[in-house]
């Protein structure tokens, strides 16, 4: 009987934790989608939004970081050539980020 109670407790805890984690992810994703839908809204580059995070950091492949970097890439891909150049002139690209970004765009 005690072991059944322990199993139920563990199972319900896992469900609660999963719900919280997914909820935070969905809330963040919704806010990023709203950010993308706003016209003329500039999305700061990741080195400004998350100054302590290097481009090779694993947080860019996890919930909040992944959502942000995905939204940022989508934003940058949507810029025309003139706005693209102005954007990267405005935000000086740190050396460690420049190498990473050259994989995707001609800088």
In this prediction, residue 93 carries a pLDDT of 92
Neighbours of 68 (CB within 10 A): 22
- Tens of pLDDT, residue by residue, the chain (107 residues): 667 657 565 655 655 444 444 444 444 566 666 665 655 678 899 999 888 888 888 888 887 788 888 889 999 999 999 999 999 999 989 999 998 888 888 76
CA torsion 85-87-88-92 (nearest 10°) is 140
In this prediction, residue 29 carries a pLDDT of 60
Q: pTM here?
A: 0.62
């Amino acid at each position: 009987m005690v072991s059944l109670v322990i199993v139920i407790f563990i199972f319900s805890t896992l469900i609660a934790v999963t719900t919280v984690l997914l909820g935070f992810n969905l809330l963040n994703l919704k806010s990023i989608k709203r950010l993308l839908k706003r016209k003329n809204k500039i999305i700061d580059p990741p080195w400004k939004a998350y100054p302590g995070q290097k481009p090779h950091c694993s947080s860019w492949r996890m919930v909040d970081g992944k959502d942000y970097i995905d939204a940022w890439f989508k934003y940058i891909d949507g810029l025309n050539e003139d706005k693209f150049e102005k954007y990267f002139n405005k935000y000086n690209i740190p050396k460690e980020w420049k190498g990473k970004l050259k994989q995707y765009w001609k800088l």
